[in-house]
Each structure stands twice: as C-alpha cells, then as structure tokens.
Amino acid sequence: MEDGHPKMDTGARSWMQFPFLSDAAQRLMLDIADTIDREIGSLLLPSKTPSDVVRFKNSKGSAEGSVVLRSGKDRGQVRFVLGSWLHCKLTAGTLDIATLIIMLGSDIDAPHFMFEFIQNDFNSLVLLLDLLPRKDVVLEPEYLKRFYEDTGLEKLRQGLEKIPQSKVYVSTSLYVRSVVSPTALLYKFKGLQQSTEGVKEEGKEALEVLVKEIVHPTAKGVVFKWVDAFQNKGRRVEGDERKRLEERDAQIRDKGVEIDLSSNMPKLFGHEITNRVIQAYRNGV
Amino acid sequence: MEDGHPKMDTGARSWMQFPFLSDAAQRLMLDIADTIDREIGSLLLPSKTPSDVVRFKNSKGSAEGSVVLRSGKDRGQVRFVLGSWLHCKLTAGTLDIATLIIMLGSDIDAPHFMFEFIQNDFNSLVLLLDLLPRKDVVLEPEYLKRFYEDTGLEKLRQGLEKIPQSKVYVSTSLYVRSVVSPTALLYKFKGLQQSTEGVKEEGKEALEVLVKEIVHPTAKGVVFKWVDAFQNKGRRVEGDERKRLEERDAQIRDKGVEIDLSSNMPKLFGHEITNRVIQAYRNGV
C-alpha cells in the first residue's frame, strides 16, 4: 500500500474502486458506493464512461485517476452518479482524493449528494460530506426546515465537531463554501499533533481507527439521510420554480467542473486527458 | 466595570452607547458606530426610537438592554441602521451582546452589514461580522465575485483564522449559518486555555489585548469594505430581480426578529418589553 499498489481484496465487485486509499478509507468509500448502488442502482443505467476516462495516467507516471459516471434511466429523477479518484505523488508527499456525487434531475427538489475524501500521505484527512441544497434556503426557509432542520443531520455534524482531532475545514473556494448546506460536514482530522518521524506511523494508525470508528458510521448516517430525502421528502417542481432550479443546478455543475477539474487537472494530466474527462462529466455518461 | 457600572468616558457623544462591554470592546463598538455615522450619517434621519426601547430593564433588575434605530432618509437606499446591546446576569455568569446592523433598501443590491459581539464574563468572546449577501450567490456567481472574491474580505478573515486563540464559531441556528457570506468572520476567542481561578484575570487581560490589537483593526477593515461596497459596487435593481431581492430581504428581517428577539427576549424581559422592541424593529424607527 505504501508505494501505491492497488489492493483487490476489498469489494472488487463494486461499480467503483478506490485502490490507493488507506484500508479504512477504502472500506468506507466502497461501503458508500455499494449503498448508493443498492438504494438507487435500479434507477441507473450501466456506466458508458469511455475506458480512457475510467482510468488515466500522466506520462511521467506521477499521477493517475479514474472517473466513472452512471446516467439515470429517467434523468428528471437522477441525472447522474459520479465516482472518482485521483492519486498523485507531489514533492510534499502523496495526495489521494476520492469523490462520490449524486446529481438529481429537475423533476424533484431533493438535495444533491456530495462526498469527498482527501488524504495527504495518510497523515491528515479532509472530509467534505453534504446534501447540497437545490434552492436558496434564505429565501425559502421551508426548504431548510424540510431537508435540514427536521432531519437530524445537525446531530451527525455535531458528533464530528466534538472529537478533539477534528477542525472545521474551510475550503479555499468561496463558491464551495457557498454551495454547501448549513449542516455540511467539512472537517480536517489529524492523527496526532506531533509530526516527528518517530510518531508518524502511530499517527497513521490513529487516523485509521478514527476513520473506522467515527467517520465511517457518520458518513453512512448521512447517506441514509440523503436516501430518505430523495425517496420521501422531495417534491415535484413546476413552472418558474423549476426554471430557477435548473439554472441553479447548471451553475453547480459548471462550477464543479471549473473548480475540481479545470483548475487542477491540466497541471497533473495535461489538456488532452483533462478535456476527455470534462467531456464525460458534461455529458453525464 | 466588574459589576456593570456604565462608563461615560469613551465616546459618550456617539449615537450609540455600549456601557457594559469591556474597555477594548467598548472602544471597538464605538469606533464602528462612529465610522457608520461619519460615512452614511447624512443619509439617515435622527433616531425616533421610543425612550422605553432605547433603554429597558426587567423587573428583577437582572437584565437590561437598549435598541436604537435610525431610518434612512431615502429608504430605497438605506432602510435602517440598528445599534443594540443586552446585558444580563445569568447563573453561569454575565452575558453581554452588542450589535450593529445596516439594512439597505431595494434600490441597491449591495450587502447588508452585520456586526455582533458576544462577551461571556469577559472570559470568552464571539465575533460575528459579515457583509450579508442580498442574492443567492450559487445562482449568481457574479454577485459573489463583485462583493466577495474581488474585495479582499477573505484576507481579513484569514488574519483571524490564523491566530491560535481563535476557533470557527458555528451558530446553533441553521438559518444564521445560511444567511452569512462565505467570507463571514465567525470566530470564538479564548483568553487562555486554562480556566482555573488563578489565571482568570490573566485570561481577561489577554482577551483585551487581542480585541485591541487584532479584532479591532480587522473589524474596522471590514467596515471600510462595506462602505466601499455600498458606495461603489452596488447596482440598481429592477423588475423581477427587485421583487426577489425584496422577498429575500423580508425573510432576513423576519428571521432576524424570530431568532434574535422573539426567542430570547421574552424569557429575559417578558412579553410587554419584547413586543415594544419588536414593534420598533419592524417599523425600522
């Protein structure tokens, strides 16, 4: 694992693989990917993502990644599901990013699902996990109440807030900060405060325990809140309201490309691979 | 000061007084109140707030407060400015809250200004300082860029983020979390980590130095950013856009009443005083 050999023994049959994450993080991502498949898999088409997007590498071999998209059968309900990972060796160490996103369609106003997991050399961990609001909750407090105030999401957030290793994670992107809900789980975790060579392994181990015992069950809890929101709390949207929802969703998708893909990928993979991935994302297949 | 005697030597001529705050906090609030007066005072009418709202006390004498409103001459530009404070003795200690708010009118789309300062026994301090967005910045990234990304507000926030005594403050209200901008300064400061009796005074002193040397200049910086936003970056709003802005503003005002006044004031002051204050706030005078 240390030098990045993929492991094939943890859930190899899932629609999405996360070969470079730490053991506990892999188990977490696969569990969430499997849960998504179990809960809404019947609403999705098999993935038609081109194989050179499903797996790509840069020429130096210092970075590789994967993007798998699955389109909804009825795109008014589920527009697409995206799973992706990125693994790169930087001068500062190894960076791993794993992402699972569910973008809904404009027949329904339930929140999108966003889950991102960032590991730096397995020594620190950033979690971004949220049900992304589809409406301006300041203008529409009913939306806030229906999906956030009345759903217990805040309790899950407070669970992470309380543990001493966690610190609120503030994204460098003002847009990312704006797009998330007020119950978003945005946390950075450190295994140990000290980072001297002697305790590094201990720090990694502590972080693995943390992922297994706290982050994993919390993330699972949030996924089930999302499933409940999608299956039981979403409402049909019509007319002007639908138009606004569609415009807002388009902005979220466009900004997602701009921030996640267009800004970092060209440096790591060059323009050809980047464009291929962006194209797949835009088409949602 | 310890037992709450008002001090009259720091800026007694200002339109707003904050008699119960610590020295450094008083200087800060008065400086901001004076700056507001200097920059937009010519656009405001003299306050017509009834004297029993300008100063009120509960019957037990354990809580008192003040609300001063000044209406805009042209309410399409500045709707009202509000200054308020609350001082109460609770079983857990003394609580002081000071607030300055500028609500703009619907002729212009520049952000509202919000500044709240909460002191607990002078041992901890919460700062809420923000330019409140008037539009849904997810739907309108241009608004985000004009007032937040291109204005250096983020740098001021990072200045507070960096200091070791600060911690991100997460409001218990999901609505408050939603209404603020992505560059909002929401921080809790502690004078010292330990809270044993022996170091309490030292902790208060450290907090005073922090307010004077870091919080004060930062807050002043944010006020000037707001002044610049109001004077140079706001745009005229028409038609449907204006209607939406007005609806959104009404929500912000209503929720402000609900959260700040209706929920806490009745317990402290009873319904009569509470209704009087809410009435003044709703009328904006």
The C-alpha of B15 sits at a distance from chain A's nearest C-alpha, in angstroms, of 31
What is the SS3 assignment for B90? strand
Which among A170, A183, A252 is the nearest to B138, CB-wise? A252
pLDDT number for residue B8: 41
**In this predicted structure, which of A237-241, B5-9, B99-103, B230-234 has the lowest mean pLDDT?**
B5-9
Interval A93-126: pLDDT, tens: 899 999 999 999 999 999 999 999 999 887 889 9
Question: Which residues of chain B does A252 touch, with a Cβ-Cβ cutoff of 8 Å?
Answer: 138
Interval B184-198: pLDDT, tens: 999 999 875 555 555
Residue B77 has pLDDT above 50, yes or no: yes
Which pair of structure tokens corresponds to residue A93?
């160490």
Residue A212 has pLDDT above 50, yes or no: yes
Which among A170, A183, A251 is the nearest to B141, CB-wise? A251
Q: Are B188 and B145 in contact (CB under 8 A)?
A: no
Question: Which residues of chain A does B174 touch, with a Cβ-Cβ cutoff of 8 Å?
Answer: 144, 148-149, 154, 182-183
CB atoms within 10 A of CB A154: 17
Question: Which residues of chain B does A156 touch, with a Cβ-Cβ cutoff of 8 Å?
Answer: none
B137 touches chain A (CB under 8 A): yes
pLDDT (average), residues B244-267: 87
**Which residues, 6 or more positions from B183, have their beta carbon under 8 angstroms from its beta carbon?**
A174, B130, B131, B148, B153, B154, B156, B157
Interval A1-14: pLDDT, tens: 344 444 444 444 67
**In this predicted structure, which of A166-175, B96-105, B201-210 has the lowest mean pLDDT?**
B201-210
pTM of the model: 0.91
Q: Which phi and psi (to 5°) does residue B100 adopt?
A: -130, 125
| Residue B75's pLDDT band (cuts 50, 70, 90) | very high
A251 touches chain B (CB under 8 A): yes
Which pair of structure tokens corresponds to residue A33?
């990917």
pLDDT number for residue A3: 43
HEC string for A9-45: CCCCCCCCCCCCCCHHHHHHHHHHHHHHHHHHHHHEC
Q: Are A259 and B149 in contact (CB under 8 A)?
A: no
Residue B122 has pLDDT above 90, yes or no: no
Q: Which phi and psi (to 5°) does residue B264 adopt?
A: -105, -35
pLDDT (average), residues A33-47: 95
Euclidean distance between CA atoms A185 and A188, whole angstroms: 10
Q: Which of B102, B41, B52 is nearest to B253 (CA)?
A: B102
Mean pLDDT in chain A?
A: 90
